[in-house]
Amino acid sequence: MTNVNEPQIRIRGLYKIFGASPERVLPDVQKGMSKADVLSDLRHVVGLRDINIDMYAGKTTVIMGLSGSGKSTLIRHLNRLIEPTTGEILIDGQDVMKMGQAELRELRQTRMSMVFQKFALLPHRSVIDNAAMPLEVRGVDETERLNEARKWLARVGLEGFEASYPHELSGGMQQRVGIARALTSNSDIMLMDEAFSALDPLIRTDMQNLLLELQEELHKTIIFITHDLDEALKLADHLVILKDGEIVQQGEPQHILMHPEDPYIIDFISDINRARVLRARTVMKAGADGIPVAGDVDADDTLEHVIARSEGRTDQAFRVMRDGETVGVLTMTDVVRALVPADPSQERQAVAV
């Protein structure tokens, strides 16, 4: 059983070097040789460099970065679809690197599920048969596996489509089948590699909301890959930002947004709609007794919601609540200040210092 106080997945000192002789190149990479120099001088590609992450049970860890940052390479190490050059991957205390083929097969079939960007549905199989596949692979009785698949199809909004085929569904509906399939497997770890990237914006938003709703109910350990910062900030409990195979910054998303530690992060967040992603708990002042308030807001309400509550008045303040208890006070002056970050060039100079 997973100890909620310990990371369910622990990654330590993970390196991946692509090329003919990665072990020969590894010492140079570990000494700090740049990715560009490794490519030009040694004809190898640094995929991942010294990755260290703790992922907790029931939480969503989002790994984000631009194309070529190493995020998809990283997620494929968790179930050893890609073999690392060196490093340690522990799942519930078990060393994935020491697993034999039988243990790996059990890991992939029962403990981890994967949702792909391109849906990966079998075109000649019906929706319910696609959703039931994880249990079919395990040899589960047909009636039992179809009942389980039917339950999860209904849960993701596809009741009545069980007999349809993938080509008869929209992209968003096909991805719902992919999520139902992952849930049918009953694994507690879900790997989602750019799962919503191929969808239209409105459908993508619907899928994000569905995932948040399911997570609130099921508390899966989700590792979600994306190149979209808005999506990352919306979904993540823990955010890991990669660049050129290295972690630039990781932590609670709100903290990263308010306290970027690298010029790369500053540039990344400079154009984001801060009102839509910053939360009342991030900007509030703890305590602040004696300040008159116009009403209550939830700690997780966005500043966009708070602004709407204030009806544009900048002289108001709100009591911030969590689970029925007061945790702080949020003034509209603090809201406005949070929405106007320092000039990016000034922030970059501050980080450099």
Angle of CA points 63, 212, 57, to nearest 5°: 60
Q: Are residues 279 and 193 in the same domain?
A: no
Tell me whether residue 204 is in a domain.
Answer: yes
Asked if the structure places residue 152 within a domain, the reply is yes
Tell whether the model's pLDDT for residue 344 goes beyond 70.
no
Which one of 213, 236, 259 terminates a domain? 236
Closest CA to 107 of 215, 8, 176, 238: 8
Domain boundary among the residues 187, 215, 236 is at 236
pLDDT tens for 325-335 read: 999 999 999 99
Q: What is the CATH number of the domain that holds 320?
A: 3.90.1280.20
pLDDT band at 341 (very low <50, low <70, confident <90, very high): low
- 186 within domain boundaries: yes
Cα–Cα distance between 233 and 227 in angstroms, integer? Answer: 11
Q: Are residues 198 and 125 in the same domain?
A: yes
Q: Are residues 141 and 232 in the same domain?
A: yes
Domain boundary among 236, 262, 293: 236
Nearest to 105 by CA among 140, 63, 138: 138
pLDDT of 145 reads: 95
Are residues 209 and 132 part of one domain?
yes
Residues 224 and 303 reside in one and the same domain? no
pLDDT confidence of residue 271: 82
Let me know whether 109 and 199 are in one domain: yes
- 119 in the same domain as 191: yes
Asked, for residue 213, whether it belongs to a domain, the answer is: yes
Q: Is residue 206 part of a domain?
A: yes
Q: Which residues contact 6 (CB under 8 A, 6 or more apart)?
A: 93
Give me the residue label for tokens 């260290």: 52
DSSP code at position 29: H
Position 168 in a domain: yes
Note the pLDDT tens digit of each residue in 26-48.
Answer: 999 999 999 999 999 999 999 99
pLDDT in tens, 93-111: 999 999 999 999 999 989 9
User: How many folded domains does the chain comprise?
Assistant: 2
Residues 109, 220, single domain; the answer is yes
> pLDDT at residue 336 above 70?
yes
Instruction: Give the residue numbers spanning the domain of 156.
Output: 99-236
